[in-house]
Amino acid sequence: MAGINDSLSFSLAGYGQLRIREGVVYRYYNDLGPHAGNCTWGVGTLAHFGTCTEAELKTHVTAKDVNTALARHVHKVEKYIHRKVRNHRLTQAQFDGLVSFSYNVSNPSSVMAAADRGDMKAVYDKMLQYIYVYKHDSKGHKIGKPTILAPLYRRRLEEAAPFRQE
Amino acid sequence: MLKKLSVAVLFTLCASTTVYASSDRETDARLDTLMGSASHERFHDFLNQLQKAIADKDKKAVAAMVDYPLTITVNHKEIDIADDHAFIKAYDKIFTDRLVKIILDQKYADLFAKDTGVMIGPHGELWFSGICTVKDCSKFDIKIMQINN
């Protein structure tokens, strides 16, 4: 059965914002993340958890590789939102916000459920819960207090803004 | 058809975009977009202070720029650093000649920044970011968040 948002796709403006938020790197690098970071390349494309190997750090990445991975990931996220938000019609800005958000977090299901039932306040509030960064020690245990990073908080505010209820 | 066209336009845009900013002004603008308006000066100052402290081998000054606790990768092995005392003790092991050179060679105009912070080095050898100190994130401290040497 077709969903109500199946005709929506990530806008060019959305792509532009995503590229700014994730940055674009034409090589492998160790991103800021749990433990000592995660091996990443392109537009925030996760190669794997944990740091890159020496071989990966020497790997050349082309613009085509970067753009193909970006388009593939975005397409996957678009399909996920079409599948999860079937009953409440989203605006283009809301759809773009959800794509950027889902591109960045591991489990956005509670946000999708709220969007599907049309509870925009809950969507806004839940998106702003995905702002905490936890540190881990070398054994993988969480250490210290969760922190909020200014740029990540800013990103969430921008992504959630189309859902804000005045 | 429209989707295919969009992807084609996107690819063209992506291919023509540079990876890093190429001037101080571009980095200023990028940092202001990501970190908050008029915040670039603080990040620029932080980089300058870090480079000076590293060049001077001022371990205490560098230790004061770190957010603790911190797990650092040294030669692919993770070591846990609880506080500034532990950091100073491990300083020579962390700041190898290679890492020192990477930090000192880093140009502000070539800084890579994203939604989590600012990266020094081509492969994420050191990251620093703004850590919010108030609930609405209107104020933040800048600290070193990660080191991979």
Q: With beta carbons less than 8 A apart as the criterion, state whether A59 and A66 touch.
A: no
pLDDT at B13: 43
Report, as ranges of residue numbers, the positions in chain A whose pLDDT lies below 50. none
Q: With beta carbons less than 8 A apart as the criterion, state whether B129 and B76 touch.
A: no
* Contact call for B124 and A104, based on CB within 8 A: no
Confirm whether pTM is higher than 0.95: no
A12 → closest Cβ in B9, B33, B119 = B9
* Contact call for B70 and A135, based on CB within 8 A: yes
Query: Looking at the complex, does the CB of residue B79 fall below 8 Å from at least one CB of chain A?
Result: yes
Rg (CA), chain A: 17
Q: How many angstroms separate the CA atoms of A155 and A150, rounded?
A: 9
Query: Looking at the complex, does the CB of residue B34 fall below 8 Å from at least one CB of chain A?
Result: yes
- DSSP β-bridge partners for residue A31: A38
Which ranges of A31-62 does DSSP label H, i.e. alpha helix?
54-57
Three-state SS for A131-142 is CEEEEECCCCCE
Q: How many angstroms separate the CA atoms of B65 and B49, rounded?
A: 9
Q: Which helix (DSSP H) or strand (DSSP E) does residue A77 occupy? A: helix A63-84
pLDDT tens sequence across A63-82: 999 999 999 999 999 999 99
pLDDT at A166: 65
pLDDT at A141: 85
Number of Cβ within 10 Å of residue B99's Cβ equals 19
- Residues of chain B numbered 96-125 and touching chain A (CB < 8 Å): 112-117, 119, 122-125
Query: Looking at the complex, does the CB of residue B129 fall below 8 Å from at least one CB of chain A?
Result: yes
In terms of C-beta density within 10 A (0-12 exposed, 13-18 middle, 19 or more buried), how is residue A76 classed? exposed
Q: With beta carbons less than 8 A apart as the criterion, state whether B68 and B84 touch.
A: yes
DSSP 3-state of A31: strand
CA distance A166 to chain B (A): 18
Report in angstroms the alpha-carbon separations of A117 from A41, A73, A81. 36, 25, 13
* Contact call for B123 and A138, based on CB within 8 A: no
Q: How many angstroms separate the CA atoms of B77 and B75, rounded?
A: 5
User: B39 Cβ partners below 8 Å, 6+ apart?
Assistant: A150, B31, B32, B130
A67 → closest Cβ in B11, B76, B125 = B11
CA distance A90 to chain B (A): 19
Query: Looking at the complex, does the CB of residue A99 fall below 8 Å from at least one CB of chain B?
Result: no
* Contact call for A57 and B123, based on CB within 8 A: yes
Q: Token digits for B49?
A: 């202070």
pLDDT at A35: 59
Report, as ranges of residue numbers, the positions in chain B whose pLDDT lies below 70. 1-21
Q: With beta carbons less than 8 A apart as the criterion, state whether B112 and B119 touch.
A: yes
Q: Token digits for B30?
A: 């990028």
* Contact call for A24 and B131, based on CB within 8 A: no
B140 → closest Cβ in A57, A136, A150 = A150
pLDDT at A139: 81
Complex ipTM value: 0.90
Total beta-carbon pairs less than 8 A apart between chain A and chain B: 144
CA distance B36 to chain A (A): 7
